[in-house]
Amino acid sequence: MRKLATLLALTAATPAFAASGPFFSLGNTDFVVLLAFLLFIAVLFYFKVPSLLGGMLDKRAEGIQSELDEARALREEAQTILASYERKQKEVQEQAERIVAQAKADAQAAAEQAKEDLKTSIARRLAAAEDQIESAQNSAVKEVRDQAIVIAVGAADEVIAKGMSAADGNKLIDAAIAEVEAKLH
């Protein structure tokens, strides 16, 4: 229903019905609209609206241009900062690689030193063990000799005691005392 009312209103208000009579008459709506439009344009020019609009548009363009320039400057600054950080990151990466390489070299050197120290320590302990073994052998040999001497002296004492008289024993004691005296003086 609304569509029908809209269609009737459009067909009833056609320009052909609005314009009647000569064109340059105030009764002609087309002429009145033309005059109003020209008067509107004249008022716009009188109040310098186009120059104001142009000025406003120029200000807007200048503002946009300054924002674009500022954005370019910020972008360039950001690129400079980014390049600086990338350089610093590369330097830090290289430094980290050098530190890791140095740490590996130090660890390798420390391992080599530890091996050498271990070899030296093992050699010292082996030498000490050999010394202890040799000392133990010498001690065992001395013990065996001492025991052999004790046994030999005991056996000689028995043999001498059985085959020697008291006078012979006294002579041997006197000779031993003389020998000791001679060695002490």
C-beta of residue 63 within 8 angstroms of C-beta of residue 71: no
- For residue 167, pLDDT over 80 is answered with no
Q: So what's the pLDDT on residue 13?
A: 46
- For residue 57, pLDDT over 50 is answered with yes
Q: So what's the pLDDT on residue 67?
A: 95
Query: What is the secondary structure of 112-169 as a DSSP string?
Result: HHHHHHHHHHHHHHHHHHHHHHHHHHHHHHHHHHHHHHHHHHHHHHHHHHHH--HHHH
Annotated domain spans of the chain:
48-184
Q: For the residues 87-113, what does the mean pLDDT come to?
A: 94
Q: Which residue has the higher pLDDT, 126 or 183?
A: 126
